[in-house]
Amino acid sequence: MTTPADAPTPRLDGDVVHADVVVVGAGPGGSATAAWLAKAGRRVVLLEKTSFPRDKICGDGLTPRAVRQLIHLEVPTAETDGWAHNKGLRIIGGGMRLQLDWPEVDSFPSFGMARGREDLDEYLARHAERCGAELVERRNVTEPVLDDDGRVVGVVAKVMSETGRATGERVTYRAPVVVAADGVSSRLAVALGREKREDRPMGVAVRAYYETPRHTDDYMESHLELWTKGEDGRDILMPGYGWLFGLGDGRSNIGLGILNTSEAFGRTDYKDVMRRWVASMPDEWGISEATITGPIKSAALPMAFNRQPLYDRGLLLVGDSGGMVNPFNGEGIDYALEAAFVAAEVIDEALRASSLAAREAVLQRYVLRMKQMHGGYFRIGAEFAKLIGKPEIMRLATKYGLPRTTLMRFMLKLMANLPQESGGGLDDRVIQAMTRLAPSA
């Protein structure tokens, strides 16, 4: 493996840039893919359509599963590096409150983290630069470049100004492999006919930042019910679930999510639900319209590999572009980071192949490895999403599940996907068996 100082840089040929790999999208998945490939000595161009710092709608909370990947990537993760650490999850619902530490298993760190996405994404993109990748901001990729056989061999990007307007200049980036880490809409994947699968769950996340004394909370907080007051003073239960994640910088990320398995999906003003929920919070939290630091924003959450195939004809999908969001809890960063490592490993091996046919055979392993890693787990999560979309089932689960601490510890381990990965106790072995025996998503 070369050091970043020795890593080769992409070659410019007129208005065409040549590289070993082009990565489109500098979110966590794209930046991690570029970082791993650069560490392996590959010439990598990482294209970002806007300029940093820039925001993305997300809960900003990282479970130990994501933390493990950042440590593996040698990203500094100390609190002095700008991260807020947390000890576990606090669950509130049915008039009850349960606080659980992250599971103590050898497979994962014992802490989670949080960091605002306007800072997190740039932090990881700059790390990719330090590893040797070439980060190019304000490059809005519009279409793939295809060879005579219909295989992706590059992309065309519009050059954008600092104000976000197209300059009229276009640049072509060519490489034997292109990674689409370009988000839920994935212009590249759609251009090749890879539409979203309707048989996979989809969610909507709504969030905003608020200044609050709760910004140093040691636990991420999950609200299984969203209550507000009606005009007559009566309590009203609204659709969805909510969260509060302290960022340690004076702010908390507060948001809510709803799944398309709910009857309220697509028929609800989610931002209004957010405002009404926030208005019902205790005064001592200091969370109100007066302490909000920016607009309420929303985004789609593509789940359970909802766009496939994950690799075909030179284009490989990482993160939201491939629907790599956990249906149990809406997490996506950890699965994007894991996919990035697998993608880079497979691509590096493929680029050493002696022929195009051999290269393609190696690249196809990415699909198999991702399904082996998460296919069964995502399938179970998809069925879980169907169940909790039914209000009566959610009420029963809250009423009879929360008082049982042992059961809830198991559910935390399952929903956050944090079992001991080999061996372990009975709960670990049950989760291992469930995910192994479930049909791959």
Q: What is the pLDDT of residue 3?
A: 44
261 or 166, greater pLDDT: 166
Domain ranges for the chain, please list them.
Answer: 11-85+113-199+303-379
Q: What is the pTM of this model?
A: 0.92
Give the pLDDT mean for 180-191.
94
Asked whether 438 and 414 are in contact (CB, 8 A), the reply is: no
CATH architecture of the region 11-85+113-199+303-379 = 3-Layer(bba) Sandwich (3.50)
Give the pLDDT mean for 19-48.
98
Give me the percent of the chain exceeding a pLDDT of 70: 95
Query: Rounded CA gap, 328 and 321, in Å?
Result: 19
Q: What is the pLDDT of residue 364?
A: 97
Q: Evaluate if residue 423 carries a pLDDT over 70.
A: yes
Q: pLDDT confidence of 11, banded at 50, 70, 90?
A: low
Q: Evaluate if residue 2 carries a pLDDT over 60.
A: no
Give the pLDDT mean for 402-407.
81
Q: What is the pLDDT of residue 14?
A: 58
Digit-coded pLDDT (tens) for 303-320: 999 999 999 999 999 999
Query: Rounded CA gap, 212 and 278, in Å?
Result: 12
Q: pLDDT confidence of 1, banded at 50, 70, 90?
A: very low
> Where does residue 231 rank: exposed (0-12), middle (13-18), buried (19+ CB within 10 A)?
exposed
Helix 405-415 vs helix 426-437: angle between axes, to the nearest 10 degrees?
A: 40
Q: What is the pLDDT of residue 405?
A: 84
Q: pLDDT confidence of 6, banded at 50, 70, 90?
A: low
Q: What is the CA radius of gyration of the chain?
A: 22
Give the pLDDT mean for 362-385.
94
pLDDT averaged over every residue in the chain? 90
Digit-coded pLDDT (tens) for 197-222: 888 988 899 999 999 999 999 999 99
Q: What is the pLDDT of residue 83?
A: 96
Q: Evaluate if residue 422 carries a pLDDT over 90.
A: no
Q: What is the pLDDT of residue 263?
A: 74
Query: Rounded CA gap, 217 and 313, in Å?
Result: 47
Q: What is the pLDDT of residue 94?
A: 81
190 or 240, greater pLDDT: 190
Q: What is the pLDDT of residue 57?
A: 85
